[in-house]
Structure 1
Amino acid sequence: MFVSYKWLQDYVDLSGVTPTELAEKITKSGIEVEGVEVLNEGISGVVVGYVMEREQHPNADKLSKCLVDIGAEAPVQIICGAKNVAQGQKVAVATVGAILPGDFKIKKAKLRGEESNGMICSLQELGIEGKLAPKEYAEGIFVFPADTEVGSDAMAQLNRDDQVLKLSLTPNRSDALSMLGVAYEVAAILGREVKLPEAKVTEATEKASNYISISVDAKEENPLYVGKVIKNVKIAPAPLWMQTRLMAAGIRPHNNVVDITNYILLEYGQPLHAFDYDRLGSKEILIRLAHEGEVVETLDDVKRTLSSDELVITNGQIPVALAGVMGGANSEVSLDTTTVLLESAYFKGGSIRKTSKTHGLRSEASARFEKGVDPNRVRAAAERAAYLMELYAGGEVLEGSVVADSLEIQPAVVSTTLEKINNVIGMNLDIETVEAIFARLKFDVETDNEVFKVTVPSRRGDITIEEDLIEEVARLYGYDNIPSTLPIGEATPGRLTDYQLKRRIARNYLESTGLYQAVTYSLTSEDKVSQYALDKREPIRLAMPMSEERSLLRLSIVPQLLEVVKYNAARQHDSTGVYETGAVFLAESGQELPQEQEHLAVALTGLWHSHLWQGEKKPVDFYVLKGILEGLFAKLGLQEKVEYRKASIEGMHPGRTAEVLLEGKSIGFVGQIHPQVQKEKDLKDTYVSEINLREALQAATEPLKYQSIPRYPSITRDIALVVDKAVSSFELKSVIQIAGGALLKEVQVFDLYEGDRLEAGTKSIAFSLKYFDPERTLTDEDVTKTHQQVLNALEQKTGAVLRG
């Protein structure tokens, strides 16, 4: 909302308050003022001149030589390039030494051999946007009315000696979408009175009801419609002061009748529409919902096809306007209009918003209807507009108004107590102070034993509950006047829960390994929802999905991370490492809401290390990703409780996939994507993992134990075992660890051989075993005895034999 400081003075005494000070006071009271624009900033030396003579430039076809009276001792010669310059005009003249926008200085000059002492200006050259200039002056110079004083300040005549406050309004403050609404707000802030505009009409003897009848079929969408008839109007430009006020507010002037309706829109916040009565084609106005497929041509010369839920104004048969949005071309006020039917109505905001959005027609009028207009200003705005048409268009206002009224509206009555007000805002206000604030707001209040019963005027539709009243008291009292206080009660320091702390440790560790955190959609598609799910359940479908690609809640994070890897690979980022911690959603039998489980997923592809100057490249493989997981479990103190077992999972490589077990319970998997999946997604070798992070973070950990540095040497024995190819190294390692007892401290695989020197269907796996006793030096006999137990257990339980 653009608020002219000079215009606002018509309604509120602003003496002693500068525009900047006023902007600060308004902002502190709860409505943000984005800035204050000085309309004539940087402009000087522009006066009103009278073109005494105009003749063709002797040396240029497109230039005119003008003799202009600028109120000085003698007229000056000015060369002008405007097509519309003519003798007898009063124009804006930038004199020699004047400064125009952009720090453009006017100097004496010679144009094609003729002296020019100044510049005749267009509105654009004076800082007014071309889209706001009247159409007849959109190209060329501006012409002042004939009674304008020669030599006077042209910027003052154009009301540019003004400052405009730019209000940033929240949707609830639609009352401030009018000059009167802002006036009430400013009057409350300054503790001054509001002066309402003049609207006393001299009515003719003829009755408006003899010219028009009004009926409403769609009473819910249009509960109140007021029509007035003004005869014998003379279409002409509006007064200059009105045009300039409209331009300062961002509205282009057209003619006196249309400009008056726009002026009232800004003044009262009530949109109006003027119909050419003689072009209506009937003496009836019927407001109804459109017929499906009905067509109306609006003022912008666009034919619009309507739907059955859109409100239209008709002449009883055909639409003549889109209600609250735009008038129809078939009833537009034109230069030959003599009788005007003036519409002032209360339309429900939802209906107007839908129509406006459907047709892409958002206007000053529709914006106000959408947010809500004051129903008690509908009649007053019509009277004020009729008064101005009588005054500035020479119209005769017919007696009375024609009204269709089914509106039932009662002012909101809201109560609060002094105790509640003081408790909420942390003050100790007395009854008199609170009553004074309500009086400044022009709210009627009844006080009974510290209970305030407030009747809210209809212009303040945002006041509906007790808290709204408390906010009004706080902001008018002044937020700056509310003292700072410490909260009362026992304060406890904030801390992370154990779960949150472990999750933070996990994220920090994963990022320290070089992985980037990804955040992907929790919604997925039908074909991806069950892929790589740790817990296969019926997926949960959204009731109203925006698209099929985002229609189901995910059961796994891996499919989303594969899309991240694919996206990066398509943009030549061949080496990618990402992780995500997030929720998957599992349906619960008999439960309306799903169970949310936090999972961790990782995806790696490309090179893990690349030191080209050392000739070293390390591509990602199974053991890189497995090592990252082992490091994570070590950080969480779970390394002794986690095992890996060969697994077969759909969509994963059959020989490079392992199940992750925590204390014997499966919590996830790690491995390579199946080659066929990689080919379909156009990926190189890609390794992924997903684990149930909640299970890992909630697992109990042993207290931290310290061991003394070994004082005695250890003994290492290597064994190479020949076993069936179906036997895994995990099974062999488990048997070795159990059989080795307390002396066996470490078991590591260091070789695997499969070749023609072994029998078909067998393989050779070599282990390194480290024996150690912290209390003494082991003898060969001790180690041999334990080592033999290991070999015997291997032969009995797995059929393994020492390789010869």
Structure 2
Amino acid sequence: MLVSLNWLKEYVKIEQDPKTFGDILTMSGTKVETIDPISDEVSGVITGKIVKIEKHPDADKLVVCQIDVAAASPLTIVTSATNVFEGAVVPVAVENSVVAGGHKMSRTDFRGIMSYGMMCSVEELGMNTDLFTPEIKNGIYILPENTELGVEVRDLLWIDDSIIEVELTANRGDCQSIYGIAREAAAALDEAVAPVKLYDKKETQNQIADYLSVKVETELCPRYVAKMFKVKKIEPSPLWMQLKLLNSGVRPINNIVDVTNYVMLELGQPLHAFDYKSLNSDEIVVKTGNKEKTVVTLDDKERDIDESMMMITNGKYPVAVAGIMGGANSEITENTEYVVLESACFDKTSIRLTSKKLGMRTEASGRYEKGIYPGLAETAALRATYLFDLIGACDVLEGIIDVYLKPEEPHEVAVNVDWINRFIGIDLSEDEIIRIFERLFLTVENKGKGNLVVKVPDYRQDLEIREDLAEEVARIYGYNRIPSTIMGGTTLVGGKTVKQKYQDMLQSLLVGAGYYQTLTTSFTSVNRINALNMDCGDDLVPLINPLGEENSIMRNTLVGHQLEVVSLNHNRKNPQGRFFEFAQTYHKNPNKGELPIERKHLVISSYGNTDYFDIKGVVELLLDRSGIADYDFVLAGPDLYHPGRKAEIRVGDTLVGQIGEIHPVVVKNYDLPKRTYACELDFDVMAGLQQDAIKFVEMPKYPGSSRDIALVLDEDVPASKIEATIKSHDTGIMENVELFDVYQGEQIEKGKKSLAYSILFRHPERTLTDDDINPVMDEILSDLKNGFNAQLRD
């Protein structure tokens, strides 16, 4: 927010230089971002009146002006400006004066005629040219005809002003005005603040009732105040008003619009002026649920609206978007005879949502979004009335319409002096704390024994609890004066949870196995999921306000982003790669209205000098080191993987994850190496199955006996089923079953494969004999033959 220091000084006594004042304001909690003078260079420029203009005798494009600067004799100034005329009052840079850019003026000979200075444009005065129309900024700056002559322009045009940019927090809606900052400055400097002059002429009639009525049909408008005026003349506003608007970054337009902008800047209350005749109605209705689909705003743009948006209507159709911008159909024009002034309080959330939907943010909406208190509506309307009357822009129609649905009750907060001191860490007396509250314009009732009841003004919507009051004491007392102390209490040693330690263990195993950890974004899109050859289903969690289509939903699998990492490395000519990532996946909650379900997954991927059995071995290592036993690799899984080279990892009926070679379609979609492998594990499930207890087992006292068998069977029979069949015959003496060879070739019939197993037998209390082992082997071979048509290989 931009604050004119000169304007501020009209309400508060400020004797400090701008930098010192800015530091004081910042230390009191109102952060000053920058302080920019209008111009430090301009000096010696005075006002003058052109009394005579003659053509230059030797130059077609030059004229010779005689200018009255309230001196003994007129000055002669030669100019090429085309907008000057006799009687015009202009800024005159006389000899030895300095204009913007640091240029010092001296007399100059223009083809035989001596010029004793120059007339200045707004740019040469150091003013912001962006706020002037091209007609004004491209010529000499013409001042009002009643401007005093010989006056220093630096003072007259507030070129000596400093513009303070203040950063406001979202809860300080009361500070988004000159008067709001004036209250803060007064509190920080311990000075009084001057009151705002309001319209106070006695009114005996209710003339406005003959012209207008107001209905508020929504609770989103707590208060609506309307005042009416008869326009005398629409013309430029007075110079003093224009200067305050310019130094606040607002372009002057005309006396009617300028007053509404002036009051908004001064008090923080947005106002809007309607052309009464253009309303085509004698009523104003504030409501939502409008059936119209569009409205044309003051910027001549057609806006799409819906029933959730609050509109100001004439009872039939919208004439303004409440709190944001007026409608073009009720705009003030040169032909306006009667003006309806709106000063209202609108719900900040409603304004924010409407502003976002329409894609437009205005000075008014920005203030409403931070919060406007209802009590300001009447004050602002009376201030505008005072200004209209002061500058002679309008005649005031007696009476005021004030629709106040639910007047706010005064708010009080109880607090104890000792508690404030303990909370902040200071030692102030009761009188000192009361004095701080009074500096903040808070009314205090002393209940005795350090107990205070603070009555909060209606404009301080941010003061709700005692902690808010303690913060006010701290910032006015001075954060820099609060003594530094060492934190007290008991210090506890932090530590990781069992689940976090388990994740660290798995990470160490993977890094030791040559895998690199990755970190990818949690956002994805439907297109990216479809590229995985997977059905999106109804499990997706869409974002309400995505950064873009490619980041419009939360990912429900980690494989997609992992394949993007593989693709990136492969296309950067890295011959091989191994990667892993622990991250959350997000799934739609079946319970409507509840947050999405988050599950932590572990994804592993590899390409290059590797195959399916390499990544399967790594997964087996992770499961074994996790103490997860009796896991199986079952031929199944999503279409993300190759149909014949994929598996689900299960422990009983519990799905732990999927593993496999990436499907050729997905390989093409993601531009992957021909052989890419991935595995996604549910880390939360693994953590639940983890067994970290290590049991001691004595070294065997008796020798083991090994039996090797080579089986020939159909190539589509999973090795896991063969192993499971062998283990099913364990009678307490089978110690280990290991697949040590897989063969397909010339010596094996086509469509068949050879699996070779080594089976280790051992008894804990004696040495086994063939009579112990052979019956078991016979049963194994019989079951394998009957179940899988397996034959012993010759």
1:360-381 CA deviation, whole Å, 9 max, x = no partner?
Answer: 5533233333433343333333
Provide closer, same or farther for how the CA distance between residues 150 and 654 of structure 1 changes in structure 2, counting only shifts above 3 A: same
Which whole-Å CA distance do the structure 2 matches of 1:413 and 1:261 have between them? Answer: 33
SS of the aligned residue for 2:3 comes to: strand
Structure 1 counterpart of 2:691, from 677, 700, 708: 700
Q: CA deviation at 1:723?
A: 3.1
SS of the aligned residue for 2:14 comes to: coil
Greater Cα shift, 717-726 or 757-766: 717-726
Greater Cα shift, 20-29 or 57-66: 57-66
Greater Cα shift, 550-559 or 392-401: 550-559
Q: Which letter maps to 1:653?
A: H
Provide closer, same or farther for how the CA distance between residues 280 and 201 of structure 1 changes in structure 2, counting only shifts above 3 A: farther
Which whole-Å CA distance do the structure 1 matches of 2:592 and 2:397 have between them? Answer: 71
SS of the aligned residue for 2:516 comes to: coil
Is it true that 1:670 corresponds to 2:659 in the alignment?
Answer: yes
For 1:621, the equivalent position in structure 2 comes to 611
Q: CA deviation at 1:387?
A: 2.5
Is it true that 1:724 corresponds to 2:724 in the alignment?
Answer: no
For 2:764, the equivalent position in structure 1 comes to none
For 1:475, the equivalent position in structure 2 comes to 475
SS of the aligned residue for 1:384 comes to: helix
Q: CA deviation at 1:313?
A: 5.1
Provide closer, same or farther for how the CA distance between residues 130 and 624 of structure 1 changes in structure 2, counting only shifts above 3 A: farther
For the 8 Å contact 1:221–1:351, the answer to whether it is kept is: yes
For the 8 Å contact 2:539–2:556, the answer to whether it is kept is: no
Greater Cα shift, 405-414 or 723-732: 723-732
For 1:464, the equivalent position in structure 2 comes to 464
Greater Cα shift, 62-71 or 147-156: 62-71
Provide closer, same or farther for how the CA distance between residues 339 and 522 of structure 1 changes in structure 2, counting only shifts above 3 A: closer
For the 8 Å contact 2:522–2:554, the answer to whether it is kept is: no
Which whole-Å CA distance do the structure 1 matches of 2:230 and 2:463 have between them? Answer: 41
Q: Which letter maps to 1:252?
A: R
SS of the aligned residue for 2:182 comes to: helix
Is it true that 1:517 corresponds to 2:515 in the alignment?
Answer: no
For the 8 Å contact 2:296–2:327, the answer to whether it is kept is: yes
For 1:237, the equivalent position in structure 2 comes to 236
For the 8 Å contact 2:287–2:311, the answer to whether it is kept is: yes
SS of the aligned residue for 1:432 comes to: helix
Which whole-Å CA distance do the structure 1 matches of 2:77 and 2:485 have between them? Answer: 71
For 1:558, the equivalent position in structure 2 comes to 559
1:670-727 CA deviation, whole Å, 9 max, x = no partner?
Answer: 321233554566653321102232454562346699999xxxxxxxx99894633557
Q: CA deviation at 1:330?
A: 5.3
Q: Which letter maps to 1:476?
A: I
Is it true that 1:657 corresponds to 2:656 in the alignment?
Answer: no
Unpaired runs of at least 5, structure 1: 609-617, 709-716, 772-781
Q: Which letter maps to 2:382?
A: E
Structure 1 counterpart of 2:675, from 678, 685, 691: 685
Q: CA deviation at 1:292?
A: 2.0
SS of the aligned residue for 1:199 comes to: coil
Q: CA deviation at 1:245?
A: 0.9
For the 8 Å contact 1:539–1:554, the answer to whether it is kept is: no
For 1:132, the equivalent position in structure 2 comes to 131
Q: CA deviation at 1:574?
A: 9.5
Unpaired runs of at least 5, structure 2: 700-705, 762-767
Q: Within 5 Å, which residues of 2 pair with 1:229-308?
A: 229-231=228-230, 233-276=232-275, 284-289=282-287, 292-293=291-292, 298-302=297-301
Provide closer, same or farther for how the CA distance between residues 551 and 158 of structure 1 changes in structure 2, counting only shifts above 3 A: closer
For the 8 Å contact 1:584–1:599, the answer to whether it is kept is: no
Q: CA deviation at 1:252?
A: 0.8
Provide closer, same or farther for how the CA distance between residues 586 and 44 of structure 1 changes in structure 2, counting only shifts above 3 A: closer
For the 8 Å contact 2:225–2:342, the answer to whether it is kept is: yes
Which whole-Å CA distance do the structure 2 matches of 1:50 and 1:589 have between them? Answer: 79
Aligned residues: 769
For 1:499, the equivalent position in structure 2 comes to 499
Which whole-Å CA distance do the structure 2 matches of 1:363 and 1:539 have between them? Answer: 39
1:249-272 CA deviation, whole Å, 9 max, x = no partner?
Answer: 111111223222221222222233
Q: CA deviation at 1:196?
A: 0.7
For the 8 Å contact 1:279–1:330, the answer to whether it is kept is: yes
SS of the aligned residue for 1:656 comes to: strand
For the 8 Å contact 2:18–2:35, the answer to whether it is kept is: yes
Provide closer, same or farther for how the CA distance between residues 504 and 52 of structure 1 changes in structure 2, counting only shifts above 3 A: farther
Q: CA deviation at 1:293?
A: 2.0
For the 8 Å contact 2:506–2:622, the answer to whether it is kept is: yes
Provide closer, same or farther for how the CA distance between residues 211 and 562 of structure 1 changes in structure 2, counting only shifts above 3 A: same
Which whole-Å CA distance do the structure 2 matches of 1:325 and 1:592 have between them? Answer: 33
For the 8 Å contact 1:5–1:165, the answer to whether it is kept is: yes
SS of the aligned residue for 1:517 comes to: coil
Q: Within 5 Å, which residues of 2 pair with 1:175-254?
A: 175-199=174-198, 201=200, 208-209=207-208, 212-218=211-217, 220-222=219-221, 224-231=223-230, 233-254=232-253
SS of the aligned residue for 2:191 comes to: coil
Q: Within 5 Å, which residues of 2 pair with 1:272-421?
A: 272-276=271-275, 284-289=282-287, 292-293=291-292, 298-302=297-301, 321-329=320-328, 331-335=330-334, 340-350=339-349, 352-353=351-352, 356-393=355-392, 395-421=394-420
Which whole-Å CA distance do the structure 2 matches of 1:150 and 1:108 have between them? Answer: 21
Which whole-Å CA distance do the structure 1 matches of 2:697 and 2:45 have between them? Answer: 90
1:399-449 CA deviation, whole Å, 9 max, x = no partner?
Answer: 454545545222212223334433433344432222222211222222223
Q: CA deviation at 1:302?
A: 4.5
Q: CA deviation at 1:754?
A: 2.4
For the 8 Å contact 1:532–1:558, the answer to whether it is kept is: no
Is it true that 1:13 corresponds to 2:13 in the alignment?
Answer: yes
1:506-560 CA deviation, whole Å, 9 max, x = no partner?
Answer: 3465466235333434997998799999xx9x97576997899999987654356
Which whole-Å CA distance do the structure 1 matches of 2:359 and 2:720 have between them? Answer: 68
Q: CA deviation at 1:7?
A: 1.0
Q: Within 5 Å, which residues of 2 pair with 1:60-99?
A: 75=75, 77-80=77-80, 82-93=81-92
For the 8 Å contact 1:601–1:690, the answer to whether it is kept is: yes
Provide closer, same or farther for how the CA distance between residues 200 and 724 of structure 1 changes in structure 2, counting only shifts above 3 A: closer
For the 8 Å contact 2:582–2:600, the answer to whether it is kept is: no
Q: CA deviation at 1:246?
A: 0.6
Q: Which letter maps to 2:241?
A: M
Provide closer, same or farther for how the CA distance between residues 190 and 722 of structure 1 changes in structure 2, counting only shifts above 3 A: same
Provide closer, same or farther for how the CA distance between residues 122 and 689 of structure 1 changes in structure 2, counting only shifts above 3 A: same
For the 8 Å contact 1:208–1:398, the answer to whether it is kept is: yes
Which whole-Å CA distance do the structure 2 matches of 1:419 and 1:388 have between them? Answer: 47
For 1:711, the equivalent position in structure 2 comes to none
Provide closer, same or farther for how the CA distance between residues 206 and 757 of structure 1 changes in structure 2, counting only shifts above 3 A: closer
1:601-644 CA deviation, whole Å, 9 max, x = no partner?
Answer: 1233xx53xxxxxxxxx3x432443355466568x576x96877
Which whole-Å CA distance do the structure 2 matches of 1:220 and 1:661 have between them? Answer: 57
Q: Which letter maps to 1:600?
A: L
For the 8 Å contact 1:532–1:650, the answer to whether it is kept is: yes
Q: CA deviation at 1:486?
A: 3.6
Q: CA deviation at 1:792?
A: 9.3
Provide closer, same or farther for how the CA distance between residues 768 and 309 of structure 1 changes in structure 2, counting only shifts above 3 A: closer
Greater Cα shift, 189-198 or 50-59: 50-59
Greater Cα shift, 60-69 or 479-488: 60-69
Q: CA deviation at 1:742?
A: 12
For the 8 Å contact 1:214–1:403, the answer to whether it is kept is: no
SS of the aligned residue for 1:386 comes to: helix
1:219-263 CA deviation, whole Å, 9 max, x = no partner?
Answer: 645554444444563433222221111111111111223222221
For the 8 Å contact 1:530–1:539, the answer to whether it is kept is: no
Greater Cα shift, 296-305 or 680-689: 296-305
Q: Within 5 Å, which residues of 2 pair with 1:557-576?
A: 557-558=558-559, 561-562=562-563
Which whole-Å CA distance do the structure 2 matches of 1:394 and 1:135 have between them? Answer: 26
Q: CA deviation at 1:168?
A: 1.4
For 1:168, the equivalent position in structure 2 comes to 167
For 1:444, the equivalent position in structure 2 comes to 443
